[in-house]
Amino acid sequence: MPARAPRRPRRATHSREQIVETAIAVLDREGAAGLTLRGLAAELGGGLGSVYWYVEGKRELMELCCDVLFGRAVDLGVGDAEFSSPPMDVDLDGLPEAVQHGAVGVRRLAMALFGELMAHPWLAAQSQLVGAGRVEGMRFWDALGRQLAVMGLSPQQQFIGSTAVIGYVMGVSAEMMSQDAHADPGTSKEEQLRTFADSWQGPEYEGLDWLRSIGEEFAAHDDTEQFAGGLDLLVTGLVHRAV
């Protein structure tokens, strides 16, 4: 064997944005438990420690990942791009135009955020990071609050309403995404729903007659319609306060 010069390690060069984007890709592929700083460094082609030059630690990295996606939700939710969502089930007939506009704006922002949460199933469970004061998250809150102000709600109702909508979006999404995570992979969505619904007929749920009665509704439901339906309950409440 000919002698070899010892491999000099190549120095990889990073940026904060690149690290965050790569982390999001890993999270999308492997889930929250699948992101490790070692794995991330390997994916970036560099050493473990260099990540720490750009982020304070794993927690800040997660916050930055979440914030980027909140930013995309605002951009989509305040823009005039078309994106599909179920028809709104709120009676706006005869209401002042400002109330109608505000209600539509609230719904649009919430649906845009829901879209990001569906596209990145690990994200909804990170709601603990919402209050971290990251700028894109705050931009989302600001955009939502503006719509409630447009509706003519009092400052107190703007505050309560905006936090209620964000809480609803994050909470319902976390519910839905965790259900997907619990299901074993390889089965279709329909089979998963059916398996859940059938399990509720088991003896451990004896006496929970309502639960048993709702199985068919669950087996036939669509996540986006379910989300939009609950959102419209909130929007109905907001409209009711505005007039």
Partner DNA sequence: ACCTGAACACCGTTCAAGT
Q: Minimum CB separation from a second copy for residue 2, in Å?
A: 51
- Any idea what DSSP says for residue 236? H
Query: In sequence order, which residues have a C-beta less than 8 Å from that of residue 7 and are 6 or more positions away?
Result: none
Q: Is 192 in the site for a second copy (CB under 8 A)?
A: no
Nearest to 102 by CA among 62, 43, 132, 147: 147
Query: In angstroms, what is the minimal distance from the CB of 65 to DNA?
Result: 13
169 is a contact residue toward a second copy (CB under 8 A): yes
Phi, psi of 131 (to 5 degrees): -80, 15
* Residue 184 sits in the site that holds a second copy (CB under 8 A): no
Report what 194 binds from a second copy, DNA, none; CB cut-off 5-8 Å by kind: none
Q: How far is the CB of 50 from DNA (least distance, A)?
A: 4
Contact 44, 12 (CB under 8 A): yes
- Indicate the residue among 14 and 212 with the shorter CB distance to DNA: 14
Side chain identity at residue 119, one-letter code: A
CA distances from 58 to 12, 35, 62, 144, 148 (A): 20, 9, 6, 29, 35
Cα separation of 214 and 233, whole Å? Answer: 19
Which span sits near a second copy by CB under 8 A: 5-13, 20-28, 107-115, 228-236? Answer: 228-236
230 forms part of the interface with a second copy (CB under 8 A): yes
Instruction: List binders of a second copy among 125-144 (CB under 8 A).
Output: 125, 127-133, 135, 138-139, 141-143
Among 30, 175, 190, 198, binds a second copy (CB under 8 A): 175
Contact status: 204 vs a second copy (CB under 8 A): yes
Contact call for residues 238 and 103 (beta carbons, < 8 A): yes
